[in-house]
Structure 1
Amino acid sequence: MATTTTAAETSDPAAAPARHLLVVPYPTTDHMQPLLHLASQLATAGLRLTVVATTANLHLLSPLLAEHSSSVSPLSFPSFEHDTSGPTSVGADIHGLAALREPLGEWVRARSGGDGRVVAVLSDFFCGWTQPLAAEAGVPRLVFAPSGVLATAATHYLFRRMPKPPPPDAADADGREYAVEFPALPGAPSFQWRQLSRMYRSYVEGHGGEHAEAIKHNFLWNLESSAFVCNTSRALEGSYLDAQPLEDLAGRRVWAVGPVAPESTGDESAGEVTRWLDAFPDASVAYVSFGSMMALPPPHAASLAAALERSNTPFVWAASTATLPDGFEERVAASRSTGMVIRGWAPQTAVLRHRAVGCFVTHCGWNSVMEAAAAGVPMLAWPMAADQFFNARLVVDEARVGVTVSLGSFVHVPDEDELARVLGEVVGEAGGELRARAMELAARMAEAVGEDGSSRREVDGLVRELWNLGSRS
């Protein structure tokens, strides 16, 4: 593993190679991992990278540093202790991380003369504060979006145009059914007010807290960048990529480089669950996961548990810290022939790529959508918050590789009989047509990252752009 570089340390800029890129992740696992996967591709292409990490997340860089020890260096600031792994809000985290702007700016300026100079900043879309940092250093900033193009454009549209719900005394008493339209996007999609990002709704409704303005400025700064780099594929979002430049992204170039995750991690810890899955017929098991950052509320979990048992659907449930119904886990553990509950981390990629998995009950977080699409697994869409309703539209209405389970967010608890019915229609032979479309999508996504595929060409084009920056005086 490479030695950690700290802000207090200095190096000889003349001895460093050119085409030096500063990478600034938003330090949570779901944001960092895709950006680090892309960083690995950029390092393989010959770029030198310095990756910023907080003390709490430095360990996530270990695989990247081990693979590219000579071209990738970590950069941490020992005096900076903000930890994004806890239950703080995104606004508080954005505000806290912005404290890195000045020391990081000094670090960049110290390397402005010589071959080791930073030629560009690549940073997560929750790190908008790096835009003025890059501007002050006289280098371009590229925004990395761990979400798809639809969700990224729609979210920036909100903070740029500031649509508001009707007053409480209007036709709908609380405005929940108010539809927000996105007329500049292909198909002019619309979403109900409650389906929009809670960050945005809280800001407009006046209860966004002390960091509300930091959130707004974050997204407006992104629109001043030179380009967006999205972990998406033309196979999934071709209509939005064909429509660029997108007005809702201020006409900036969008590089579609996904899926950035490697096809197989070779994770040995997946052995137990894959051995369990080996006993089942093809496409007969439901995989259930709502991500590592979101626990399914107990009433929702109870309804899903009842549906799984009532439909006799074998399942793997990555429950993380979710509260499941009393006695459910004990019944599952006693039989071992009907299901498996995984607490903590789950080997999701390995599970989704197992032949026995016939559907994925998911909150439609973008990483999960990309992994399921790449694996050819149909999705039962159960969006809850953030970008998930936008992603569910792609899965269900556009790619037609999923079925809606619930659009009720945290408010509506789906009926267990309806859930059981949907499971019966998707798992096994009944879901053959849906599964055929999912497999076709997976083939197109594999082609995109293959030799001369669309995503491979996008990565190559991005590398050339960055390489040319290093050649300019």
Structure 2
Amino acid sequence: MEKAQSMPHVLVVPFPAQGHALPLLDLAALLAARGIRLTVVTTPANAPLLSPLLAAHPASVQPLVLPFPAHPSLPAGLENAKNCPPSYFAIFIHALAALRHPILAWARSNHPVAAVLSDFFCGWTQPLAAELGVPRLVFSPSGVLGTAVPHSLFRRSVKRPPDADDGYCVAFPSIPGELSYQWREISGTYRSYIEGRMDAQVGEAVRQNFLWNLESSGFVSNTLRALEGRYLDSPLEDLGFKRVWAVGPLAPETDTSGELGGGLAAWLDGFSEGAVVYVCFGSQAVLTPAVAAALAEALERSAVPFLWAVGGGGSLVLPEGFEARAAAARRGMVVRGWAPQVAILRHAAVGWFMTHCGWNSALEAVAAGVPMLAWPMAADQFVNARLLVDETRVAVRASAGGIGVVPDGGELAAVLADAVGEGGTGARALAKELAAEAAGATKEGGSSREDLELLVEWIHKL
């Protein structure tokens, strides 16, 4: 206990959504193993997420469990953004900021901290850190590019001209590469804010959240130099010219061989190396019946073997007879509900991953050496898709993307067939090369390991 009290004490504030909280908790485990004492803020419904971390580091990590702040526009009991409809998301960010006062009271009651490490949706921890007289580090579960783009939008208050449609291109002159994205590809939260479709108080709180991040002492990003080196070479104006520690991929290496289950493992074992296309759009994107029908048509017409994890509680309605025909042909399987994605991607039979390009899914594919069929839906996914398709070239475009946008089944079938065939040779090779670099990044002497050690050194100097 005496040794723990002598360690630097960091207050960790995750954003309560699995895709944000889990990588930050993985980072917390790495910091705890390197002599840093941590207090992690959570709410009762999210507290179980901390169990593995607390069990692994009982002497150096403690939870600070606080009630989730009530908000008149949020349903009672909603504590995790995973269960949050898009219309509630900005309100959720706004509501969470009310934790500032109980955290401040806790810190002042004989719990001094040396720094605050918090998610980029917790910008309200910047004035909290200032009141405590300590630096704040911003944790980004996204890549550097995916973090810079929304900060650029809020920093510049970019607007679409009144006479322009959703194809209007927004330029990002301060980010390397002469980037531009169509208005429809811009974050829905930002578009709702700038177009006045969001409650004014909530909208201003969300905007201020991003501007506070630019006042921080730096960013810690779940990325690696082999993937985003051009955005790490010099400080970015859209990240406040602040230092970025690139410490990813953060997910620890584990043996996933036992996670597939007998039936799924046996089914995959029946295919040759790289033959199967794994299809999954994450836990939050729910395909409309029309989009699902177009995808089902493409899978049948392309004749590629596929494993489709429909997610969304398994409630997706597929075309009548589709599953039976796929099963009868021994060419396709539909998994309803949760699927062991990391284990699936690491199975030798899986050669392609059709994905919404969520950052965690993208990193899992990168680590597994599996090329991607990019079908972005929302949030940072269009930014990630561009990085994967146009820059690293470990992905090909499956669809222009967007929630509810129905692709042509025949065109999508052609993309699938070409990727699995000779047309995908280049992406497959590059994916294998990037996987080797990702594995090396977190090993001794790797770029991400070096950034992690520099981060630890920076904290110890506090």
TM-score by length of 1: 0.91
- Is residue 271 from structure 1 mapped to residue 261 from structure 2 by the alignment? yes
* Alpha carbons 1:285, 1:314 under 8 Å: kept: yes
| Alignment match, 1:405 | 398
* Alpha carbons 2:174, 2:236 under 8 Å: kept: yes
- Is residue 361 from structure 1 mapped to residue 354 from structure 2 by the alignment? yes
1:331 CA displacement = 0.9
SS of match in other structure, 2:38: strand
User: What letter matches 1:258 in structure 2?
Assistant: G
Matches within 5 A, 1:209-288: 209-210=199-200, 211-242=202-233, 244-264=234-254, 266=256, 268-272=258-262, 273-288=264-279
Partner of residue 185 from structure 1, selected from 175, 191, 201: 175
Q: Distance in 1 between matches of 2:68 and 2:403?
A: 39
1:61 CA displacement = 1.1
SS of match in other structure, 1:55: coil
| Alignment match, 2:137 | 142
Q: Distance in 2 between matches of 1:196 and 1:68?
A: 40
Q: Distance in 1 between matches of 2:46 and 2:178?
A: 39
SS of match in other structure, 1:346: coil
1:291 CA displacement = 0.5
Q: Distance in 2 between matches of 1:394 and 1:36?
A: 26
Change in Cα spacing, 1:69 to 1:159, as seen in structure 2 (3 Å) is same
Q: Which 10-residue stretch deviates more, 17-26 or 134-143?
A: 17-26
Q: Distance in 2 between matches of 1:140 and 1:54?
A: 24
Partner of residue 207 from structure 1, selected from 191, 197, 206: 197
* Alpha carbons 2:4, 2:59 under 8 Å: kept: no
SS of match in other structure, 1:308: helix
Q: Distance in 2 between matches of 1:150 and 1:182?
A: 11
Sequence identity percentage: 57
User: What letter matches 2:347 in structure 1?
Assistant: H
* Alpha carbons 1:329, 1:341 under 8 Å: kept: no
| Alignment match, 2:36 | 47
Change in Cα spacing, 1:330 to 1:110, as seen in structure 2 (3 Å) is same
Q: Distance in 2 between matches of 1:176 and 1:313?
A: 34
SS of match in other structure, 1:56: coil
| Alignment match, 1:16 | 5
1:412 CA displacement = 2.9
1:330 CA displacement = 4.0
User: What letter matches 2:53 in structure 1?
Assistant: L
1:70 CA displacement = 1.6
* Alpha carbons 1:284, 1:428 under 8 Å: kept: no
* Alpha carbons 1:274, 1:350 under 8 Å: kept: no
User: What letter matches 1:55 in structure 2?
Assistant: P
| Alignment match, 2:16 | 27
| Alignment match, 2:429 | 436
SS of match in other structure, 1:426: helix
| Alignment match, 1:3 | none
- Is residue 130 from structure 1 mapped to residue 125 from structure 2 by the alignment? yes
Change in Cα spacing, 1:14 to 1:65, as seen in structure 2 (3 Å) is closer
* 5+ long unaligned stretches in structure 1: 1-11
Matches within 5 A, 1:48-447: 48-78=37-67, 80=69, 83-84=79-80, 85-88=82-85, 89-111=88-110, 117-167=112-162, 170=163, 172=164, 175-210=165-200, 211-242=202-233, 244-264=234-254, 266=256, 268-272=258-262, 273-321=264-312, 323-328=316-321, 330-331=323-324, 334-335=327-328, 337-428=330-421, 430-447=423-440
Q: Distance in 2 between matches of 1:232 and 1:15?
A: 30
* 5+ long unaligned stretches in structure 2: 70-76
* Alpha carbons 1:358, 1:428 under 8 Å: kept: no
1:405 CA displacement = 1.4
* Alpha carbons 1:283, 1:428 under 8 Å: kept: no
User: What letter matches 1:439 in structure 2?
Assistant: K
1:278 CA displacement = 1.3
SS of match in other structure, 2:83: coil
* Alpha carbons 2:143, 2:222 under 8 Å: kept: yes
- CA RMSD in angstroms comes to 1.9
1:110 CA displacement = 1.9
Q: Distance in 2 between matches of 1:156 and 1:79?
A: 26
| Alignment match, 1:6 | none
- Between the two proteins, the alignment pairs up a number of residues equal to 448
User: What letter matches 2:171 in structure 1?
Assistant: E
